[in-house]
């Protein structure tokens, strides 16, 4: 699975973090063109904005929608710079989930983790605690998945094993062929 950062997106609240997670996917994946230009709707049971601290806290059934993108979490904390640009975002859930439609016939990308952290200064996304990333039939699971967008590098690991499932592309829409049966050893002759 090759990794390529997604196209640049506006820095509206949460868009950067969501778009960054796209960089964890196969090179062919790009978000639907124009999603970043759509209005963003954020819903939560409660919202607290602290201008002095430069934070916004969304709590309780948080839902963020923009175009085909949707983020669901129990809590989302956004740390802003003095110019209101994003500095750091933390999404928590049991699990937090993200999905977005890809351009063309590439399907949908999905990510799940109990915690999703995006550091805008380092341009890095970290999925922790039962992290799962899915595009089509390709999957990666790990306790921790880190994507350094600046260096276009992905790293997975933690307390358990990393599991990756790749499904080969098929020709003419035919389903993949089942694995060949391994040859049986010849019976020994007396």
Confidence bin at 83 (pLDDT 50/70/90): confident
Confidence bin at 66 (pLDDT 50/70/90): confident
Question: Does residue 29 carry a pLDDT above 50?
Answer: no
Confidence bin at 150 (pLDDT 50/70/90): low
Does 41 fall in a domain? yes
Instruction: Compute CA distances 14 → 18, 79, 107, 139, 179, whole Å.
Output: 6, 10, 22, 24, 42
Does 57 fall in a domain? yes
Instruction: Compute CA distances 4 → 9, 27, 178, whole Å.
Output: 14, 5, 30
Does 28 fall in a domain? yes
Does 98 fall in a domain? yes
Name the domain count of the chain.
1
Does 30 fall in a domain? yes
- In the predicted model, what is the mean pLDDT of the chain? 74
Does 95 fall in a domain? yes
The Cα 86–Cα 121 span in angstroms is 9
Question: Does residue 62 carry a pLDDT above 50?
Answer: yes
Q: What is the CATH number of the domain that holds 113?
A: 2.60.450.10
Does 184 fall in a domain? no
61: nearest Cα among 100, 96, 101: 96
Pick the range with the lowest mean pLDDT from 7-11, 46-50, 111-115, 156-160: 7-11
Q: Domain residues for 113?
A: 15-165
pLDDT for 182 equals 52
Does 6 fall in a domain? no
Q: What contacts 72, CB < 8 A, 6 or more positions away? A: 61, 62, 63, 64, 93, 96, 97, 98
What is the distance between the terminal CA atoms of the chain, rounded to a whole angstrom?
A: 50
The Cα 159–Cα 123 span in angstroms is 24
pLDDT for 11 equals 33
Q: What contacts 165, CB < 8 A, 6 or more positions away? A: 137, 138, 139, 140
pTM here? 0.68
């Amino acid at each position: 699975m090759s990794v390529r950062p997604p196209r640049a997106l506006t820095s509206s609240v949460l868009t950067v973090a969501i778009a960054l997670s796209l960089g964890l996917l196969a090179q062919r994946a790009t978000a639907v063109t124009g999603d970043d230009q759509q209005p963003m709707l954020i819903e939560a049971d409660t919202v607290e904005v602290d201008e002095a601290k430069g934070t916004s806290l969304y709590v309780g059934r948080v839902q963020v929608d923009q175009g085909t993108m949707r983020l669901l979490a129990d809590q989302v904390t956004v740390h802003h710079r003095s110019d209101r640009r994003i500095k750091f975002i933390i999404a928590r859930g049991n699990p937090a989930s993200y999905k977005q439609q890809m351009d063309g016939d590439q399907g949908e990308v999905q990510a799940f983790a109990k915690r999703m952290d995006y550091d805008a200064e380092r341009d890095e996304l970290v999925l922790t605690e039962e992290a799962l990333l899915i595009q089509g039939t390709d999957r990666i699971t790990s306790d921790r998945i880190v994507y350094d967008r600046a260096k276009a590098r992905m790293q997975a690991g933690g307390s358990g094993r990393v599991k990756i499932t790749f499904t080969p592309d098929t020709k003419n829409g035919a389903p993949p062929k089942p694995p060949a049966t391994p040859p049986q050893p010849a019976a020994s002759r007396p």
